[in-house]
Amino acid sequence: MVQRDYPYMYARVSAKRKKLLDESDYENLLKMKPNEIARNLEEGAYKKDINELGSEYEGIELVELALMRNLSRTMSKLVEIAPESLEPVIKTYLRRYDILSLKRLLRWKQGGGNQKIENLLVPVGDYSVEELEDLSEKTFEEIVGSIEFKNSPIDYKSFIGEEKDLRKIERNLDRAYYQDLDRISGKIGGMWFEKFVNEEIEYENLKIALRLKKQEIEREEIEEWLVSDKKSKHLEKVLGSKSFEEAIDYLVNEEVLEKKNGANIEDIEHRLEVARLDRALVSQHTEPLGATSILGYIMAKMIEVQNLRMLLRAKETGIQNLETIRNNLVVS
């Protein structure tokens, strides 16, 4: 029988945390070529996953799939050993990967299903690989109609309704998810996680608001696309700004966004996300005990996989220089 109590889980998470890559590890990886990075990861925590997939895949595709399989396996184990009170919190947080897989599946289906589906799916949450692959055999409408999360009190289907437009379906899934996450963030007694969730909601809304401001969309229409009705001080200022440039100037003056000339909207979104994750990784250490330490590890592990995928892609394309890659890494 699997042990499910906090002391046991803290011990397991502490051991896993020590295996996470640190700043010196990333500096070493920055000096390597893509194949050297792959060999380095194969000798460490990702060995089992790379070896298991090595007969079917190769190169960057192999490493990326191995990273996601490792993340899936790690999170499944944490859910398995989590105390009863913490399990729904972890499952709700990881539901973001179900939402991501469902969005990708719907886009894939609408686009004609030409790409390899296994490369798009992220089986980390409630949906297994088999369930997602079964869904890929259904029609677009059947996939939409089958979306549900039985362990959540949030009725995701009611958010989707009879909507047929893919962009609006994606938005409604996000709205349901962030309501789900917001609902549970205040139930674990940790200020760090609640603050982290609020900042994530703010980031998602800022990202949408800035992109639509860039397109000169009016405030009322922008608000229709936000993932949550929760409006922070920064979001109110951005929504009320007369132009995209005025909104950026405000965020720079408030030190929400680092000043940088000539950046495109994708770069601005990425900088906002990096700044948010940097703050979250630093602030998690202010609550070293309790559920926060476990959720902090989950976030750090997810960021590590994100870092490695970004690093591999950047190295493979050769478009970014080392300093740009280094600035895009999120390291605690």
Determine the residue type at 229.
Answer: D
Give the lowest-confidence range in 169-178, 216-225, 241-250, 313-322. Answer: 313-322
Do the domains 1-83+302-332 and 87-184 sit in the same CATH topology, yes or no? no
Nearest residue to 143 (alpha-carbon basis) of 108, 179, 175, 114: 108
Contacts for 277 with CB less than 8 Å, ≥ 6 apart: 299, 303, 330
DSSP 8-state secondary structure symbol assigned to residue 33: -
Could you tell me the two tokens for 215? 């397109």
pLDDT in tens, 284-294: 666 555 677 78
CA distance 204 to 147: 22
CA distance 78 to 91: 10
Measured N-to-C along each axis, helices 191-214 and 291-317 cross at an angle, to the nearest 10 degrees, of 40
What number is the average pLDDT over the span 64-83?
90
- The half-sphere exposure of 19 on its side-chain side, counting CA atoms within 13 A, is 16
Nearest residue to 171 (alpha-carbon basis) of 125, 196, 204: 204
Nearest residue to 86 (alpha-carbon basis) of 2, 199, 4: 4
Contacts for 67 with CB less than 8 Å, ≥ 6 apart: 41, 46, 49, 305, 308, 309
Look at residue 307 in the predicted model and tell me its pLDDT: 92
Look at residue 106 in the predicted model and tell me its pLDDT: 93
The CATH code of the domain at 1-83+302-332 is: 1.10.132.50
Outline where 147-232 has alpha helix (H): 156-160, 166-185, 191-214, 219-224
Helix (H) or strand (E) holding 140: helix 140-146
Cβ pair 133, 119 in contact under 8 A: no
Band (pLDDT 50/70/90 cuts) for residue 262 is low
The structural architecture, per CATH, of the domain 87-184 is Up-down Bundle (1.20)
Look at residue 145 in the predicted model and tell me its pLDDT: 93
Band (pLDDT 50/70/90 cuts) for residue 209 is very high
Nearest residue to 56 (alpha-carbon basis) of 40, 43, 69: 69
CA distance 177 to 281: 22
Look at residue 190 in the predicted model and tell me its pLDDT: 66
CA distance 174 to 26: 32
pLDDT in tens, 176-203: 999 999 998 877 656 778 888 888 899 9
Nearest residue to 283 (alpha-carbon basis) of 210, 222, 193: 193
Residue 97 CB burial class (10 angstroms; 0-12, 13-18, ≥19): buried
Band (pLDDT 50/70/90 cuts) for residue 113 is low
Note the pTM of the prediction, 2 decimals: 0.87
- The half-sphere exposure of 309 on its side-chain side, counting CA atoms within 13 A, is 17
Nearest residue to 176 (alpha-carbon basis) of 99, 97, 118: 99
Domain ranges of the chain: 1-83+302-332, 87-184, 191-286
Q: Which residue has the tokens 């909507």?
A: 163
Look at residue 267 in the predicted model and tell me its pLDDT: 82
Look at residue 287 in the predicted model and tell me its pLDDT: 59
SS3 240: helix
